[in-house]
Amino acid sequence: MDDGAAVSVRGLRKEYGRIEAVKGVDFDVAPGEVFGLLGPNGAGKSTTINMLCTLVRPTGGSATVGGHDIVRQRDEVRRDIGLVFQEPTVDGYLTGAQNLSFHAELYGLPKDVIGDRMRRVLDIVGLWKRRDDRVHTYSGGMRRRLEIARGLLHSPRVLFLDEPTVGLDPQTRVAIWGYIAELRELEKITVFMTTHYLEEAEYCDRIAIIDHGSVVALDTPEALKATVGRDRIRIHTDDDEAAAAALRERFLVEVAQRDGGLVLSVPSGEEFVPRLFSGLGVPIRSVQMTRPSLDDVFLAYTGSTIRDAQDGGRTGDDGAEGGEAEGGEHVNDANGVKGVNGVNGAAADSGDVRDDVRDDVRDDVRDDVRDDVRDDVRDDVRDDVRDDVRDDVPGEDPGDVRGEEVRAHGRD
């Protein structure tokens, strides 16, 4: 175990009956890092995240989050983390602000800090102005941003995001990544996210590629790409024969003539191209450079492209669709749920108990929120009436008439 790590995982396993969802994974995530778990459908990403967030009990191995053991110190872990589930969980019936109040209640945030904190997180995700609108009037991207704001509300040390941008248009996905980068700067938190979008994995400092429950590669996107291939450069010149000879003799690289141009592979294209221009001795008309993609990396490590893996229906292949969560495996309980972000609509193990608890908690908090709103309105009316009385009856003690005025107001 790495004691200084934000997340430290050793031999972590989860079996559902005969389905091995996670087969013993090891990795450490440094504080302040954006760490991505990349893999196709059914690879074990959500199961891993749910174990780290204490929603699913591991079958074997161990892990710490913020230095706390995910099995023995669940409450401490829950206090330290924010979680944005794969499935949407904000309540459309409530306003954005009420959804956050709901969450603040669940976390027991002190009343005097809630206002400031709410303003800060809503500002970060650009929703402050829409805070009093009901969430069902928000776009999909706005709802996702609200979920991220909610995940940040209690200042977590580690924010877990399970497929944060799934189902969103490319523009909104880019915007959400902008927010994540910004909040890492502003809040100095560690971000642990899953994705099956290769282009999104590029935003991470490091990526673990997970396939069939095992981590098959782990490094920075650049290093992973460097392990599987070299940069490919295609050039068109005024004299391809002379250019090919110069490339072989002076630059010592193999070159192929293809499609009316020259194609070569080099380890570091961005360093090679300037040398090419200065030393080739033949006028160059165009240069095109292609770098290995994460899809090439995925292919190299798993034997299939990520898209093929998904089209192949991994979950169906291994019979996982027929699997069931085992009774008693689920670690949510009335006490546990209280500490977990986004509990209304959680996407971890299925479970009637979870649904019941979720509904109860939601009803309780919604009632509380309604009571709070009612109290606020009552206070506002009182203040208005008191002001009116002061204005209308100069010289009289407003305290004496207030009762009459309030009663009169009530009858109107």
Nearer to Mg ion, 56 or 233 (CB): 56
Indicate whether 315 belongs to the interface with ligand ATP (CB under 6 A).
Answer: yes
Indicate whether 39 belongs to the interface with ligand ATP (CB under 6 A).
Answer: yes
- C-alpha 199/C-alpha 257 separation (Å) is 31
List the one residue from 13, 25, 46, 168 that touches ligand ATP (CB under 6 A). Answer: 46
For residue 24, the SS3 value is strand
List the one residue from 324, 376, 379, 392 that touches ligand ATP (CB under 6 A). Answer: 324
- C-alpha 333/C-alpha 55 separation (Å) is 10
- C-alpha 85/C-alpha 101 separation (Å) is 19
List the one residue from 15, 27, 28, 47 that touches ligand ATP (CB under 6 A). Answer: 47
Residues near Mg ion (CB under 5 A): 45-46, 86
Residue 68 contacts which entry, Mg ion, ligand ATP, none (Cβ below 5-8 A, type-dependent): none
Q: Which residue is nearest to ligand ATP (CB)?
A: 320
- C-alpha 231/C-alpha 266 separation (Å) is 5
CA angle 189, 193, 199 (to 5 degrees): 115
Indicate whether 342 belongs to the interface with ligand ATP (CB under 6 A).
Answer: no
Nearer to Mg ion, 98 or 195 (CB): 195
Residue 156 contacts which entry, ligand ATP, Mg ion, none (Cβ below 5-8 A, type-dependent): none
Do 332 and 41 touch, CB atoms closer than 8 A?
no
Cβ of residue 309: shortest distance to ligand ATP, in angstroms? 10
Indicate whether 21 belongs to the interface with ligand ATP (CB under 6 A).
Answer: yes
Nearer to Mg ion, 58 or 292 (CB): 58
* Assigned token pair, 305: 């492209």
Cβ of residue 14: shortest distance to Mg ion, in angstroms? 13
Do 48 and 37 touch, CB atoms closer than 8 A?
yes
Number of residues that bind ligand ATP (CB under 6 A): 21
State the Rg of the chain over Cα.
28
Q: Which stretch binds ligand ATP (CB under 6 A): 37-45, 119-127, 218-226, 295-303?
A: 37-45
Residues in region 96-155 near ligand ATP by CB under 6 A: none
Indicate whether 58 belongs to the interface with ligand ATP (CB under 6 A).
Answer: no
Q: DSSP per residue over 216-253, as a string?
A: EEEE-HHHHHHHH--EEEEEEES-HHHHHHHHHHHS--
- C-alpha 266/C-alpha 233 separation (Å) is 8
Indicate whether 41 belongs to the interface with ligand ATP (CB under 6 A).
Answer: yes
What is the crossing angle of helices 96-107 and 140-152, to 10°? 30
Do 251 and 243 touch, CB atoms closer than 8 A?
no
Indicate whether 196 belongs to the interface with ligand ATP (CB under 6 A).
Answer: yes
Contact positions vs ligand ATP (CB under 6 A): 16, 19, 21, 39, 41-47, 86, 196, 315, 318, 320, 323-325, 349-350
